[in-house]
Structure 1
Amino acid sequence: MTSRSWLAPMRARDTTENHRVATPLELFFDLCFVVAVAQAATPLHHAIAEGHIWHGVEGYLQVFFAVWWAWMNFTWFASAYDTDDDVYRITTLVQIGGALVLAAGVADAFDANNYTAITIGYVIMRLAMVAQWIRAARGDRERRTTAIYYAVGIVVVQILWLLRLALPEDLLTPAFAALVVCELLVPVLAERSPGGSTAPHPHHIAERYGLFTIIMLGESVSAATIAIRTGLDTGEHEAGLVSVAAAGLVIVFGLWWLYFDRSAHSLIRTLHNSELWGYGHYFIFAAAAAVGAGIAVEVEYESHHAEISGTVAAYAVAVPVAVYLLVVWLLHIRPHQRGPFIAAYPFVAVLTLLAPLGPAPVFVIAALMVLLVTATVVVGRRVPDAIAQ
């Protein structure tokens, strides 16, 4: 049981704790972050439909990194130190507020390349984590050095993010890439500090990532539904839009099925594996949310409102689906599988990328999802689990 006093000692939780599940606060935290994800996916959809593909993709990946990284740091910290007391809840509220500030600045970032509001929102979220790590340093003597590494590293990088706002526009993207590397290095260095590694709960982390994957896929369904509703309001192309909606639903459901086919907690046992698994989910989350933007682009093409070709519109769906399949295969499926079936996921990913070159690409992609799910159920589960052996 966690303490709910005003300021309980923040000690590391037991990694073998039974029945460790996501808390109501964590679920609320995730739902608030979806606002920022939706704000990033909508401009991506419009940018691709208007032919500004690179601008849309670049802006989306940058905004999504800010959302994902703040979410990921909170998730792993909460798995190790969640006290669920009043100060912890208020600090989490500050992080949520930062996410909303970030979401409010997405339009300026896409339209005017102005990252001021996004940066401020991001820094608010990250400095709230500094407060959490300082509490951990006070309460967990064994890992005090690790917590201090985290706190100092986060503060230094946030100062650099603020200084980035003063750079000329042509240096913003290179500076962003450099600061992403700095952010990723903070946990890598902190977890290898003399204080030792923190202790996240494998089952809890796997559940938290699974829930966020569901939310990202749900965001895809929501984005596609809004786009289809808008198209149907015109009273034209109804049959085509309904069929795109059906194909999109099959695709998203297939992506959900494939992610949850194998349990992930056994993959989060060592520090190295945890880092690869945790960092790699950036691509799963970003691709899952981008599928909805791609379906929305396909809707605009079907209703003759897009300024791009049918092939480009189809690739707006095919690329995130292929990325999702490849990364899920690398992180979730490949460690469990052996034998010829191990090649099924990359093979279907390649076919997905070829689908836009032929007729009815979205329906072909949906059919490929059905085939891969069927093969996973009929063949994949008959292969002995390599981890369990």
Structure 2
Amino acid sequence: MYFIYILLNIFLYFLCLIALPFLSLKSKYNKFYLKLFPLKLAKKADIHFHYASFGEINALSPLIKELKKQGYTVLLTCASKTGYEAGKKIDDNCFFLPFEILLFFWLKKAKKLVVFEAELWLILSRIYKNSCILLNARISKKSFRKYYRFKFLYEKIFENYTMIYAQSNSDARRLKKLGAKNISVFTNIKIINPIKLKEKLKKNKELIIIASTHKGEEEIILNKLDKGFLKNKALIIAPRHPERFKQVYELIKDYAKKNNLSFSSFSVNKEAYLEKDIFLLDVLGKLVDFYAISDYVILGGSYIDNIGGHNFYEAAYFNNKIISGNYIFNQIQMLKYIKNIKISDDIDFSDVKNAFIKSDFTFVDLVNIVKG
């Protein structure tokens, strides 16, 4: 089966070469060529971290920085443009994970591979056989049905893992059905990470943040939001993906005009939220700083049915009052650790208490797991 997988990988590689000119026209994929032509070689490292995107490297960032502080060298590989750009800020030894068939020629094997959540690749894990762990492993009830169709593949992948740390008992049971062994239930590492602010921001009124929104969600949430609730407050909107900043700017500009509200964005004036009614946070990496001074958070990725919600942790860390939509299938287990989250398609904060975090594990436990 491994040989067949390699042949299929070669076939897909050439298909991607053909599609590359068309993919490159889209902002989201304009660095996709780095997966097909990894001209720069990675430096050999003690620990190789592989993750998917921006949210995952954000979650891994405190762990990686602590290990580097203790003298460990790292290699970072990812699957997305935003993950690549964020990873580069942590360590220059960061790359798009090359197309799997290229790993035989490109990869300088580290002492250990740490794969985050659900980035499961057969050739990558086979190269690191008996020296790789799966961290923060999760499979939602909805996703499990799709995964189970390819159980034969995941059984082969899991054979290469020495240890799998699941987020919950439910995740552990689903992973076991897919063929995973050596499973230990830890926790979602996102709830034990220390949070450090990049900048302490000013504040002169209550702030509402609509965070991590996807296409279509801004309209849904703004239509549900009581206009009276906005009075004497600033509304901050932070889209999930930077390629949507321009589109959302125009949407909010129209909304502000129709409702006689003042509007600006971070790219125009980073302190405009102090004066304006609505403020677009059109930059990555600043959301946590705004969570630290906010009062109310409406969490996106949960008002349309194909995302599964986003992490409550950062907003709850600063004891915000939090409302999330009903589509949170990727975050259900998180509710065991984050208290006072309101899950509802109705946006009404009148009965919402300040959120807080509860966990039996610590960041030190996490560091020791990875160090082995």
Q: TM-score, normalised by structure 2?
A: 0.28
Larger relative helix fraction: 1
Larger relative strand fraction: 2
Structure showing greater relative contact order (alpha-carbon pairs closer than 8 Å, 6 or more residues apart): 1
